A = this chain, B = another copy of it.
Amino acid sequence: MAADFTELVTDMARRARAASLVLANCATAAKNDALHRLADAIDAAHGPLLEANRLDLDAAAANGLGAAQVDRLALNPARLTKLAVSVREVALLPDPVGDTLEEWSRPNGLKIRKVRVPIGVIGIIYEARPNVTIDCAILCLKSGNACILRGGREIFNTNTALAALITAALAGAGLPADSVQLIPTTDRAALNTLLKLDAYIHCIIPRGGENLIRFVAENSTIPVIKHYTGVCFVYVDRAADPEIAVNVLVNAKVQRPGVCNAAEQLLVHIDVAETLLPSLARALEAKGVQLRCDARSAVILERSGIPRMIAQPSDFTAEFLDLILAVRVVDSLEEAIAVVNRDGSGHSDAIITADPVAARRFQAGVDSAVVFWNASTRFNDGFEFGFGAEIGISTDRLHARGPMGLPELCIHKFLVDGDGQVRG
């Protein structure tokens, strides 16, 4: 029998909306108090949390998940300690709410102030890792947003245990308990209901694989901020410093190949292909990277006796998320820009060059969230940007683009002061 979750989820959303109106005007100290209580509770509850997590891990093993997948679900004392530390770090971040973003006066005497306020109610749809539950809850709380969390089936028991700690911390700090709510089911029908509740929920953030994000984007009547993964390029210009080229390319490809800001493709300017490609390829080979080459790069590498495959056309738009790199030779900076804009995903792209004119042309021409000059694509990250936290890396082009920190979880309102002005 399929349960009807419409009433349950609608009621949760209604309560979240009510909580959000209180939370929007809460003192920073109260929000930080809740965060400290939560951190202390995590520290004090290793036993029950690991017990709940064990249920999920046993079920995952029974369902035949691989070791790497099970590891993503796993908590242990070290991970819990780190989680509590991250909660305390968010308490230390400045409160984004209430900042005056702009203010001006009009000739008729009206004084207009644009102030930062929370978005309202945010729905977070995510998959496996249990730290996402805490990360999202604390970032929404600090930014004054109520949130509704819908985590993955694989981690349901762990999430339920974590959510109980959050609720208790909110109550202890005198904040509305409905500020953070976990949907108590992973039934798809509940998710479908949630995605239509635009009367109460103002923003949906899906965190997970492309299929999840696409499902959410296609079924939500609530605005969605998407976090797709990336097809990121490193372009080695004719004026590239060879050492920087090797270091940045290797870092962008191998430091963590399974993430969205890892490089998936190398473009090399024809003028330096003969001289630089072999050393770039050898450095990558030493790290176990498989190269999938276009005809021109294949010939050069063959002459140097370096193993390489001939690429399939699909490799040139692929997100490998693995130790694989597509390689092409381009005839000019302009071609490099055009190729990145055509075949990339607008996420994170880099030029390696000692020529500032080429660098600025690449940065202006490449239509991506972050365009690097002589630095690794791996730096597209909220912590690396100095935001202190991130809810994700937006691949959208409205509201937020690139790393999203606390201010990106806010919007503004206008306060207009008059002394009786009317419109003529």
- Asked if residues B422 and A378 are in contact (CB atoms below 8 Å), the reply is yes
- Asked if residues B420 and A241 are in contact (CB atoms below 8 Å), the reply is yes
- Asked if residues A221 and B225 are in contact (CB atoms below 8 Å), the reply is no
Q: In angstroms, how far is the closest chain B Cβ from the Cβ of A279? A: 15
Q: How many A residues face the partner with a CB closer than 8 A? A: 68
Give Cα distance in the complex from A415 to B368, angstroms.
9
A378 contacts which chain B residues (CB < 8 A)?
Answer: 422-423
**Contact indicator per residue, chain A 387-424, by CB within 8 Å of chain B (1) or not (0):** 00000000011110110000000011111111111110
- Asked if residues A120 and B397 are in contact (CB atoms below 8 Å), the reply is yes
- Asked if residues A379 and B416 are in contact (CB atoms below 8 Å), the reply is yes
Residue among A218, A359, A414 having the largest count of chain B Cβ atoms under 10 Å: A414
**Interface of chain A residues 275 through 333 with chain B (CB within 8 A):** none
Give Cα distance in the complex from A380 to B423, angstroms.
10
Q: Say yes or no: is A203 at the interface (Cβ < 8 Å to chain B).
A: yes
Give Cα distance in the complex from A412 to B404, angstroms.
12
Q: Which of B241, B255, B419 contacts A423 (CB 8 A)?
A: B255
- Asked if residues A119 and B397 are in contact (CB atoms below 8 Å), the reply is yes
Q: Say yes or no: is A33 at the interface (Cβ < 8 Å to chain B).
A: no
Given contacts A119-B398, A251-B423, A384-B106, whether A369 and B416 have CB atoms under 8 Å apart is no
A137 contacts which chain B residues (CB < 8 A)?
Answer: none
- Asked if residues B401 and A413 are in contact (CB atoms below 8 Å), the reply is yes
Q: In angstroms, how far is the closest chain B Cβ from the Cβ of A151? A: 23
Copies of this chain, tallied across the complex: 2
Q: Say yes or no: is A223 at the interface (Cβ < 8 Å to chain B).
A: yes
Give Cα distance in the complex from A399 to B421, angstroms.
29
Q: Which of B247, B369, B380 contacts A422 (CB 8 A)?
A: B247
Give Cα distance in the complex from A368 to B119, angstroms.
11
Give Cα distance in the complex from A197 to B122, angstroms.
26
Q: Which of B248, B385, B399, B422 contacts A399 (CB 8 A)?
A: B399
Given contacts A24-B367, A398-B203, A413-B369, whether A419 and B223 have CB atoms under 8 Å apart is no
Q: Say yes or no: is A365 at the interface (Cβ < 8 Å to chain B).
A: yes
- Asked if residues B416 and A375 are in contact (CB atoms below 8 Å), the reply is yes
- Asked if residues B221 and A397 are in contact (CB atoms below 8 Å), the reply is no
**Interface of chain A residues 100 through 120 with chain B (CB within 8 A):** 104, 106, 110, 112, 117, 119-120
Q: Which 10 A-B pairs have the closest CB atoms?
A: A375-B418, A251-B422, A399-B399, A244-B420, A378-B423, A398-B399, A370-B414, A375-B421, A202-B397, A374-B418
